[in-house]
Amino acid sequence: MAQMNMIQALNSAMDIMLGRDPNVIVLGEDVGFFGGVFRVTDGLQRKYGAHRVIDTPIAEGGIVASAIGMGVNGLRPVAEIQFADYIYPAYDQIVSELARLRYRSAGEFFAPVTIRTPCGGGIRGGQTHSQSPEGVFAHVSGLKVVMPANPYDAKGLLISSIEDDDPVIFFEPKRIYNGPFDGDPNKPAVPWSTHPKGDVPEGYYTVPIGKCEVVREGSDVTLVTYGTMVHVCEAAAQGMGVDAEIIDVRTMVPLDVDTLVTSVKKTGRCVIAHEATRFGGYGGELSATIQEECFWHLEAPIQRVTGWDTPYPHAFEWEYFPGQARVAMALQSVMEADA
Amino acid sequence: MRPSRLHIPKYHAGPGETPDFSYLELSPAGAVARPDINTRVRDMNGLAFQLVRVLDDDHEAVGPWNPHLEPADLQVGLRHMVLTRAFDDRMQRMQRSGKITFYMRSLGEEAISVSQGMALRPTDMLFPAYRQQGLYMVRGRPVVDLMCQLLSNTRDMCKGRQLPVMYHWRDGNIFSISGNLTTQFPQAVGWAMAAAIKGTDDIAATWIGEGSSAEADFHHAMLFASVYEAPVILNVVNNQWAISTFQGFAGGEHRSFAARGPGFGMAGLRVDGNDFLAVHAVTQWAAERARTGHGPTIIEHVTYRGAAHSTSDDPSRYRPKDDYERWPLGDPVERLKDHLIALGEWSQERHAALVKEMEEHVLASWKEAVTYGTLTESPRLDPHLMFEDVFKEMPEHLKKQDEQLRDERKRG
């Protein structure tokens, strides 16, 4: 075991996979010589060479398209999009090509591409360094969508994603790259060494895609969340003294419905929390699924705590970000409801 | 002072008008120099503005680009082209009679796919658009297999999931065709980058129309191919038309599409797309460059879309009826036929017999194909194939939807 932050854990995952499989290739803007704007690929090009860890032109569509072509030719590309906010130029290649290649060719062609991209707010990133676009990928048939909330999962899930023969969109909440964040920007930063999930095995291991994790067991209410919001929800529930069962979704697609349903049937109450905007967001899918499966067990309407339906603002960040206070209000509301 | 004005590209002629192809910059056969394959890009920019032609007006092969193919190879090429045309004609009629929902012919463009297919190795990976059916003829896929795809029947390679014409062939190294234009262009570059990373001498070739060169993926492909000197041939089939839109609207009015090559630091060639020998020669040249580490080439094939864009299109609404007859570069099948006759290696009688043989072969193949079902007549594909291959293994939510459909069908 070693102490790692999320950056080091992700770096370790790629290091291990580059070492294990000569077909693994890392590519993206600034990932090679420089080691990535967030240092996630630091040292990899030095160790594996410029043919394995490749700097690319600033062209997201070209990055994903060339990764698809490489995948078709037997490589296992791990492409980086510098910010999730800049993934849209590649949206056609991801949705029309990467996601559908196996289907449209009846299994004759596929491209085992992993697309890593830093996402989420809480860093004064404004409109184009804060977005959480997981919902627009979860809606696409043929993609797996993953978002870890701690270093241990980040490494294990990234190794699983790279090994997976299906395309994976791998979101990395950049607010928690260096330490967990409970939503209070006025508190001093906390490093991952203070958190049990900052203990990461140095060698190879996997965390399965398609499995939620019950982060905290509880009996009063189920809090379904992922990414940075896992830590915000933990702090909010603790602050209120509510015995909440907190579930880190970890994989948006395919969704582990059983874990969610088992929990909500037990607690009878559910709050869903994510940073992304509400309308058409992934929380709507979670809410609908739980309502369909748990209707007779629900003692209160399901609540969603999300970003507002606005572009992500710079000056109003802490009015926008769904922090502890907003989670607490939703928890109070479902706890007070009387079926 | 004159105010600025918005320039709207001009059509060469509209319906009812006399076609005027004087906008084409043509070079006489044999007139364009053939540089060594290791020539630096900056020393051969002129290639992008000339037109490589081998067959002259007397049907002789002339000049430095003459590939000196054996008559037997030319006869094979002619056979593939005649088969492609016979296949297209029959499929067009089958669409008109309602047996298939949609079709796209390659009339007038057969030399490009057939000659290029023959100039490449079977292990080279091909990323076609939807109008390169000749590649399948060259690589030997039985036309009955293509017909089954068009019919979405029980032998459909796409298992009923794709529109007609969107073929693929893993074993033949022909990539899956997508409806989204130009996406395959940068994918082919990625495939070629992988070939170079792995150190093989296989190359990739890819095709788009000139209209599709307007897509951002064209730029991505050119840029990545140039930056990494990827072993790839990027083909732009300039058939003058993107559905109803004349090539000027794709940026062809002021400069050739081949000239975009030098702009990216890449070799760019312009070739007579209806000249089987010229197409073969430039493909061989570009393939050798790619295979020996001299980088990518963009080839603009100057040709003409002889037929409607698709079975859903009526070209008489936007272009002269006699456009194709007046096209100055003629018909690729006729030109190769005349060349073989001039060589004393072919005759009108043998040609007529070949056409008849291919038509009969296509008809017999069609009769076989429909025994595997049609879109509406049994045997039909199992609808549950709809849920497979979305992912490698079917996830729970799809299993559930599959079950729901089974239940619906039981009740219904």
The predicted-structure confidence for B121-137, as pLDDT tens digits, reads as follows: 999 999 999 999 999 99
Q: What is the DSSP letter of A122?
A: S
**Is residue B391 within 8 angstroms of chain A, CB to CB?**
yes
**Rounded mean pLDDT of A232-242?**
97
Is the Cα dihedral A147, A150, A153, A154 positive or negative?
A: positive
Q: Are the C-beta atoms of A214 and A263 separated by less than 8 Å?
A: yes
From chain A, the residues in CB contact with B145 under 8 A are none
Are B194 and A74 within 8 A, CB to CB?
A: yes
**Is residue A84 within 8 angstroms of chain B, CB to CB?**
no
Q: Are the C-beta atoms of B385 and B160 separated by less than 8 Å?
A: yes
Amino acid at A38: F
* Rounded Cα distance, A6 and A152, in Å: 8
Are A66 and B190 within 8 A, CB to CB?
A: yes
**What pLDDT is attached to residue A337?**
81
**Is residue A72 within 8 angstroms of chain B, CB to CB?**
yes
**Is residue A62 within 8 angstroms of chain B, CB to CB?**
yes
pLDDT single digits (tens) B239-259: 999 999 999 999 999 999 999
From chain A, the residues in CB contact with B187 under 8 A are 65-66, 68-69, 72, 97
**Rounded mean pLDDT of A25-36?**
98
**What pLDDT is attached to residue A176?**
98
Helix (H, G, I), strand (E, B) or coil at B139: helix
Task: Evaluate if residue B278 carries a pLDDT over 70.
Answer: yes
**Rounded mean pLDDT of A157-176?**
98
**Rounded mean pLDDT of B49-54?**
97
| Nearest residue to A66 via CA among B264, B199, B227 | B227
Q: Are the C-beta atoms of B264 and B322 separated by less than 8 Å?
A: no
Residues in chain A: 339
pLDDT single digits (tens) A271-283: 999 999 999 999 9
Q: What angle do CA B309, B313, B316 make, to 5 degrees?
A: 95
Are A68 and B193 within 8 A, CB to CB?
A: no
* Rounded Cα distance, B36 and B60, in Å: 24
Query: Nearest CA to CA, how far is A107 from chain B (Å)?
Result: 6
Closest partner residue to A65 (CB to CB) among B187, B197, B390 is B187
Residue A314 catalytic? no
**Rounded mean pLDDT of A245-262?**
98
**Omega of the bond leading into A196 within 30 degrees of 0 (cis):** no
**What pLDDT is attached to residue B192?**
98
* Rounded Cα distance, B78 and B90, in Å: 18
Name the pLDDT band for A162 (thresholds 50, 70, 90): very high
**Phi, psi at B279, each rounded to 5°:** -60, -45
**Rounded mean pLDDT of A262-273?**
98
* Rounded Cα distance, A150 and A194, in Å: 12
Closest partner residue to A103 (CB to CB) among B157, B161, B194 is B161
Closest partner residue to B176 (CB to CB) among A56, A67, A105 is A105
Catalytic-role residue among A129, A195, A231, A274:
A129
**Is residue A68 within 8 angstroms of chain B, CB to CB?**
yes
Contacts of B361 (CB under 8 A, 6+ apart): B83, B86, B143
CA B251 to chain CA centroid, nearest Å: 20
Q: Does the predicted model carry a pTM greater than 0.80?
A: yes
**Rounded mean pLDDT of B290-314?**
97
**What pLDDT is attached to residue B88?**
98
Are B162 and A67 within 8 A, CB to CB?
A: no
Task: Evaluate if residue A164 carries a pLDDT over 80.
Answer: yes
**Cβ under 8 Å to B: A residues 117-156:** 141-142, 144
**Phi, psi at B204, each rounded to 5°:** -115, 150
**What pLDDT is attached to residue B144?**
98
* Share above pLDDT 70 across residues of chain B, in percent, rounded to a whole number: 100
Q: Are the C-beta atoms of A254 and B397 separated by less than 8 Å?
A: yes
**Is residue A316 within 8 angstroms of chain B, CB to CB?**
no
**What pLDDT is attached to residue A269?**
98
**Is residue B220 within 8 angstroms of chain A, CB to CB?**
yes
**Rounded mean pLDDT of A126-144?**
97
Closest partner residue to A96 (CB to CB) among B175, B178, B388 is B178
Name the pLDDT band for A338 (thresholds 50, 70, 90): low
* Rounded Cα distance, B358 and A178, in Å: 68
From chain A, the residues in CB contact with B396 under 8 A are 254, 257
From chain A, the residues in CB contact with B185 under 8 A are 65
Strand pairing category for A251-253 and A270-277: unpaired
